[in-house]
Amino acid sequence: MYTVQEIRDFKGKYPKQLLHLAGSEMWERFCFYGMRGMLTVFMVTQLGLGDKTANLQYGAIQAFVYAFTFIGGVFADKILGFQKSLFWGAILMIAGGLVIALSPHSLFYIGTCFFIIGTGFFKPNISTMVGQLYHEGDVRRDAGFSLFYSAINLGALLGGILMIWVGKYHSWPLAFGLVSIVMAISLINFAFTRKSLGTIGLSPLHPDMPKKKRRFYEIAVYIGSLIAIPFILKLVTNTHYTDLFMYIIGPATLVYLGWEMRKFNTKENKRLLAALVFVIFSILFWAFFEQAGGSLSIFALNNVHHTLFGFIPMDPNIVNNSANSVFVIIFAPLMGLLWLWLSKRKLEPNSVVKFGLGFLLLAGAFYGFYATIFFADADGMTSLDVFTLGYFIITFGELSLSPIGLSLMTKLSPQPIQGLMMGMWFLASAYGQYVAGLLGAGMSTADPNASNLTKLVSYTNGYHQLAIIALILGIVLIVISPGVRKLMKGVH
């Protein structure tokens, strides 16, 4: 078994354990992004929901997926450890896929609840283990997270294409069944490679604690997460309860973090405050970015031509669900190497400026989505090429922010609460998803019989407003960057 020191003293650009973790995360992302791409399409075409309701339901489901990453991070920090959390999360996701596959129309929401809890235990903890492969201050960490981000997007690409294609044109039960098959592959990969992680991710409970007591705590977590399913089902199916939950969980999380901060010194707490700045701005970024699974998914379904470059037949929903992943796979390693190249020449922008650039590129992307109105015909159908261009631009915004954010949470957080802070990063995504649903519902037309042209005008006007707001936020981040850097206390 490797020691942590041996793992962190790796030679070259990347530790081999990074590839093992990326292999497991890749298949989880296959399921997550495949499900994400199917949600609104399935709810509109199979469950008969209107555009506004589907946007709200999408936002609620995705919000709970990310909200439970915070809870999963806390239980990993305190009881299970990252490795056992990952195992339990994968098992729940496998169960969720099987439940929906049995009867997609009647068991959709119950299976989704399994998926929500499973992702909560899986997602934050594998990212935290990636951060622990590096020494504090290792400049290769950002490049490692960029490679990790690229690798897992291969899974997002495959899931984004395959699951929506199977569901729309062949079989919805089979599409949801793929979740179970692919998550089983992810779990097997981790089982065979976990020894290379050494002690990284093992249970945080004290080794001297009696074995029966340790086991009791672990079983209590497993049983408690199953008991939560009916509660989550009530929240997901009633967006009024979703609102109430989101009003409570955020403030409660901040109070809990404040309680934990009393254990750390001034330098560590200032770094945690800097982390909160990134968390707050990421909420706004994801609120815009995650239109991909909501309003942009419906926009692709109703308002975009089925031809790419004028001659290639292409389903717009497949483009909507996979173009971003294609561009990430191609450009994430290059951007990671670019950061290293700039770092060696002392020209690399600091993390706050990178976040600001992410918002400026986000603004450019939504100007692109807005610009589709200038290519629309009288039936409200517009260019798939311009739509795809928007995703090309938004990818660089994501690459300037998301992998950097994952890396920052591990760099700015004290070791004892890294799972908590990674959970907070994903909880910010929960709020982003929640707001994304509200924004998407606000942009959609209330009239179920509205023409395609009316829908196109309504959505593109909304995208124009989002572009302006993103532009302002990007400028604000760049202006406040010196102050935030002081809080970061040397973390770049």
**40-53 pLDDT, tens per residue?**
888 888 888 887 88
Compute the average pLDDT of residues 101-107: 91
Q: Compute and round to an integer the Cα radius of gyration of the chain.
A: 22
Least confident of 133-137, 156-160, 311-315, 403-407: 403-407
Rounded CA-CA distance 166/431 in Å is 30
Phi first, then psi: give them for residue 402, nearest 5 degrees: -70, -55
Residue in the structure block whose two tokens are 């909160």? 276
Q: How far apart are CA 32 and CA 29, in angstroms?
A: 5
More confident residue, 416 or 271: 271
pLDDT of 492 strictly over 70:
no
Measured distance CA(265)–CA(467) in Å, rounded: 40
Q: What is the pLDDT confidence band of residue 366, given thresholds at 50, 70 and 90?
A: very high
Amino acid identity for residue 68 in this structure: F
Pairwise pLDDT comparison (409 vs 102), residue with the higher score: 102
pLDDT score, position 88: 92
The answer to whether 271 and 489 are in contact (CB under 8 A) is yes
Residue type, 349: P
How far is Cα 454 from Cα 457, in angstroms, rounded to an integer?
A: 5
Domains and CATH numbers, the chain: 11-488 (1.20.1250.20)
Distance CA 101, CA 108 (A): 8
Q: Is the pLDDT of residue 163 over 90?
A: no
Q: Tell me the pLDDT tens digit for each residue of 437-453.
A: 888 888 877 666 778 88
For CA atoms 228, 127, 294, 88, the dihedral sign is negative
Positive or negative, the Cα torsion across 176, 172, 26, 156?
Answer: negative
In angstroms, what CA-CA distances link 34 with 164, 169, 177, 239, 387? 7, 15, 11, 23, 20
pLDDT of residue 490: 62
Distance CA(287)–CA(299), nearest Å, equals: 17
**Rounded-to-integer distance, Cα 306 and Cα 406, Å:** 36
pLDDT digits (tens, 9 = 90+) for 53-76: 887 888 888 888 877 877 887 788
The more confident residue out of 100 and 247 is: 100
Give residue 61's pLDDT.
85
**Residue 115 identity:** F
Residue 210: pLDDT band with limits 50, 70, 90: confident
- Percentage of the chain with pLDDT > 70? 97
Q: Of the spans 195-199, 248-252, 323-327, 365-369, which averages the highest pLDDT?
A: 365-369
pLDDT at residue 491 greater than cutoff 70: no
Q: Residue 216 corresponds to which tokens in the numbers above?
A: 């009791």
Q: What pLDDT does 21 receive?
A: 86
pLDDT score at 241 = 80
Of all residues in the chain, the percent with pLDDT exceeding 90 is: 20
Q: What is the pLDDT of residue 489?
A: 66
